[in-house]
Every structure is written in structure tokens, then in C-alpha cells.
Amino acid sequence: MNLTLTEPALNKLTDIPPDHLVQLALDRGSCDIVNNVYEMKVVPSRELQDHERSIEYKGVIFIVDDDFEDTYDHELTIDFQKNAFVFKNKNQTFNNRVGLRFL
């Protein structure tokens, strides 16, 4: 999986406390356009479940589902614009704007 964070996104994620992870929750819809990230949760470090894996980018650790790579064609860029995270891959910009929720 080629995961990239833009500088604005990486700067915003510096607010994450040490020993915490970012869980990317997918909306499981009936079509591909719905099958995108709808929530970013900051959670305390924990053991991964059987259907999860982690992706690390410059010190930020993300928890994703096993099929996350297929959903985004093995490429995802996370940007931060106008107070929200925006997700893009080589084919499209997803029209969801996601905030960061601390648990």
C-alpha cells in the first residue's frame, strides 16, 4: 500500500498523543464510491484484530481493514484542507471530508 500524507495532514496529525493510533473506518456501502473512509478515530495503542493491519507513515500509525488496499487501488493520499481531511487516489478525489475524533 502506498500511503502518503501531505504536509498539512501530517502537521494536523502531530496533535495525536504518544502511544495512540489512527483508526480509519470504512463505510461499507453497496457501491465503490460509498466504500470510503468516513471516520478517523484516535485510539490508545491496542492489539490488532484478525481482520486489521497497521500502516506506518512518518511516525503516524494507522489501523486499517485487510481489504483497505483493494478499496483504494493500493494508493491513498491524505490531505488536510479547510479544516477536514480529504482522501485521494490515482483515480479520484473522494467527496468525503473527515475530521479527527479522539476517543
pLDDT at 34: 47
Predicted confidence at residue 44, as pLDDT, reads: 96
User: Which alpha helices (DSSP H) does 1-103 contain, by range?
Assistant: 7-12, 68-71
Inter-residue contact 50 to 36 (CB < 8 Å): no
In CATH terms, is domain 2-102 a member of 3.40.50.1370?
Answer: no
- Measured between its terminal Cα atoms, the distance across the chain in Å is 26
Q: Which residues of the chain have pLDDT under 70?
A: 27-36
Q: Residue 24 to residues 4, 51, 62, 94: CA-CA distances in angstroms?
A: 14, 13, 7, 14
